[in-house]
Structure 1
Amino acid sequence: MRDILPALGRWYAARAPFGLATVVSVSRSAPRDPGAAMAVGPGDEVVGSVSGGCVEGAVFELAQQAVATGEARWETFGFSDEDAFAVGLTCGGEIGVLVRPVTPESDAAFGAVAASVARGEPVTVATVVDGPAPRGATLAVWARKVSGALGEPGLDAAVTADARGELALGATGLRHYGPRGERREDAVTVFLHSFAPPPRMLVFGAIDYAAAVARIGAFLGYRVTVCDARPVFATPKRFPDPVEVVVDWPHRYLAGTDTDERTVICVLTHDPKFDVPLLEEALRRPAAYIGAMGSRRTHRDRLERLVEAGLAPYELSRLRSPVGLDIGARTPEEVAVSVAAEIVSLRWGGTGTPLTETAGAIHATGSV
């Protein structure tokens, strides 16, 4: 939808009703992912696409009907392998499309969402697809505020927590709840559409531990880059396909790379000539997590060098070293789980305590 938001924003600002069709689910092969959208606006102007095939004809009519009736609809389009090519589903399959009317009265937050996306400010839009909650109802969720409602306070609270989780990863997809937001129930289907790029994980030091951390980072939804100054180690074949591999001095690469409050920095170089100038750069820039591998002796030596480099106590307090949670990890894969656990725990305010020893709510409701 991001590509058509400028047009939608103009229609919305002019208070011109439009029908918005969004792909909320796909199975097997489909030319557009969940979140792809098509809209029908004033004068039957069409922007966007949901399939690239003749599904658009049916969706066009549904969008017109949504504007005329003021009601949202969820339609599924399925195709056999023989018919799929003609409608853009090259290997057959099925797409689920939610079609809803959009006006300032039906979606008071739409203008703010469009403005946030234009500014590059992350936001997740939750929309009811099916169930006892009002179909088409929306809840816009930012890191520190919400706008709208889905019809029941408990549902709003559960969806807000999950939307912030999706926002942290830039993820989009369907979630299922009970009528009051109960977990592990599927009475209400909600589509969470996150307008944010995946957060970055920067891994420095192309060692075996880095390969394991890179794999789990990609699994968690991060855009992973591995950087090392040694070309013999920094080779793409040593890392999974989604991972970017860069040959450069770590501190120089980081100095030329944008980071934000969602960025994860893992320093696994384990060599003062690499990690001290790198950490000097990392600890003075925005990041959600900065962890460095090494023994306690290595950590003490590293801190002394960083103090000599002029870092202040509050900057040094950001460093997580030795890296990871204490789970008894030994192998590179186990260490990667330990690091990932610390990253998740820090993001949501977890304690690392076994759940059997805790009481109260299991799922954290902290913000990104």
Structure 2
Amino acid sequence: MLERINDLLAQVTVPADWAVATVVSVTGSVPREPGSTMFVHRDGTTIGSLSGGCVEAAVVDAALTALTTDRAELVGFGDADGTGFDVALTCGGELTVLVQPLNQLAGVLPGLRAIAERSPDGALDGALDDAISLVRALPGSTVPLPGPFLVRDGDALPTVRVPGLPERATGDLAAALRSGVTTTVPVFGPPEAGCPELGRLLVESRRSAARLLIYGANDHAAALARLARPLGWQVTVCDTRPVFATARRHPDAHDIVVQSPVDHLEAEAAAGRVDGRTAVVVLGHDPRFDLAVLDRALRLGLAYVGAMGSRTTDGRRRQDLLAGGLPAHLLASLHSPIGLDLGARTPPEVAVSVLAEIIAVTRRPDRRPAAHQLRDTTGPVHATPAFVSAAGREDRFSWT
């Protein structure tokens, strides 16, 4: 339910009137991942979805039943080839959903609301200041868990709150919390009893917002910040020029910094505020600053490092980085010319191209997007556009 923490803050005012449905596990091809959440009101109103529409009606029925009985339930949905599930997923996968009256989570609701209120814009853009996990026992468990509890970023594993949890389960729970993903943790009884499975814990996690560091405060930076913020990125715009690095020019950035880009990146790295999810985009067009920050960024193991520029600029930049001592295997991870080959020209279009590349690179396990990246193509970055004349003839024209 952490996925919809913004809706919890804004719409769920009377918990007794709501049930929450959370995807616990998935197999095969399914539209949503574990942790996906849907709230269901006793009048049938819903917030969110768990699939492309295949199972929502059945989930609503299960939620209304849970509100009537005040009991949580695990509900399975499978494919249409005889898996034994009542409701089929047309995509062929299977998923298990925990349906639970929201009142059973009353003890953690104040903490969730407090975290949502502390996050940027009241969590309305999806970004969180704090990483957080919600731990609860699945129905049918005899796990000695007093009730659901929250674990915030930096907290020690609260073993004092689960005094009867076996040592092995404590270690598994700690590992699940560190992973930052949504998963289940099996809990087994003592060896002398044959290690029976007592049940499972659902560990639902939401990490703090990934960072997008934009170096170069121009119109492209403003457009990129405008599109990236609603996607949940924590956006910083940095430039050495105070006349350009202003809140008026970049109203969608969370942070605006007037500083040398490499000095800023060094300070953020030293403070532990960048990690393997961080994306760096260099838009400055000034080798005095670009080369230093690119060299440093490419050595940090970040999720994405991209730089704007023509093929001529890119070729010269790559030569200079190699001459400066950057290893060739690190240079190979530079996304330049930046973006996907969408034919983008205006700053908003370029922002779509850049964000599409970041999503494609970071979401795919092999780190290679399915669409063409500009760095893997040849010819002009901005191809001459075509139009069809009134006579039906395709003509070519230049923007200049």
The two structures have a TM-score, normalised by structure 2, of 0.46
**Residue equivalent to 1:12:** none
**Residue equivalent to 2:8:** 25
Separation in 2, partners of 1:221, 1:306: 32
Give the Å deviation of 1:102. 8.1
Relative to structure 1, the CA distance from residue 235 to residue 292 in structure 2 (aligned partners, 3 Å threshold; closer, same or farther) is: same
Relative to structure 1, the CA distance from residue 288 to residue 304 in structure 2 (aligned partners, 3 Å threshold; closer, same or farther) is: same
Separation in 2, partners of 1:224, 1:199: 9
Q: How does 1:307-322 map to 2 (within 5 A)?
A: 307-322=322-337
**Residue equivalent to 1:147:** 184
Give 2:351's match in structure 1, choosing from 336, 359, 364: 336
Give 2:258's match in structure 1, choosing from 244, 247, 257: 247
Over alpha carbons, which structure has the higher Rg?
2
**Matching of residue 278 in structure 1 with residue 289 in structure 2:** no
Q: How does 1:51-70 map to 2 (within 5 A)?
A: none
**Residue equivalent to 1:351:** 370
Q: How does 1:1-368 map to 2 (within 5 A)?
A: 25-28=8-11, 73-75=101-103, 105=141, 117-118=153-154, 142=179, 146-148=183-185, 194-257=205-268, 258-349=273-364, 350-352=369-371
Separation in 2, partners of 1:308, 1:293: 20
1:264–1:290 CA contact under 8 A, matched in 2: yes
Separation in 1, partners of 2:346, 2:146: 48
1:112-165 residue CA offsets vs partner (Å, 9 max, x unmatched): x978954699xxxxxxxxxxxxxxxxxx7946894259xxxxxxxxxxxxxxxx
User: Which segments of 5 or more consecutive residues in structure 2 lack a partner in the other structure?
Assistant: 16-66, 73-98, 105-133, 158-175, 187-201, 373-400
- The aligned amino acid for 2:237 is V
1:180-212 residue CA offsets vs partner (Å, 9 max, x unmatched): xxxxxxxxxxx9953311000000000000100
Structure 1 counterpart SS, 2:214: strand
Structure 1 counterpart SS, 2:351: helix
| Identity fraction in percent | 39
The two structures have a TM-score, normalised by structure 1, of 0.50
1:108–1:148 CA contact under 8 A, matched in 2: no
- The aligned amino acid for 1:284 is R
Give the Å deviation of 1:25. 2.9
Give the Å deviation of 1:74. 3.0
Give the Å deviation of 1:26. 4.4
2:181–2:205 CA contact under 8 A, matched in 1: no
Separation in 1, partners of 2:238, 2:370: 31
1:66–1:101 CA contact under 8 A, matched in 2: no
Structure 2 counterpart SS, 1:194: strand
Separation in 2, partners of 1:203, 1:216: 13
Separation in 2, partners of 1:328, 1:103: 52
Relative to structure 1, the CA distance from residue 99 to residue 235 in structure 2 (aligned partners, 3 Å threshold; closer, same or farther) is: closer
1:66–1:100 CA contact under 8 A, matched in 2: no
Structure 1 counterpart SS, 2:248: helix
Relative to structure 1, the CA distance from residue 291 to residue 109 in structure 2 (aligned partners, 3 Å threshold; closer, same or farther) is: farther
- The aligned amino acid for 1:294 is G
Separation in 1, partners of 2:145, 2:335: 39
Give the Å deviation of 1:343. 0.5
Separation in 1, partners of 2:247, 2:145: 44
Q: CA RMSD in A?
A: 4.4
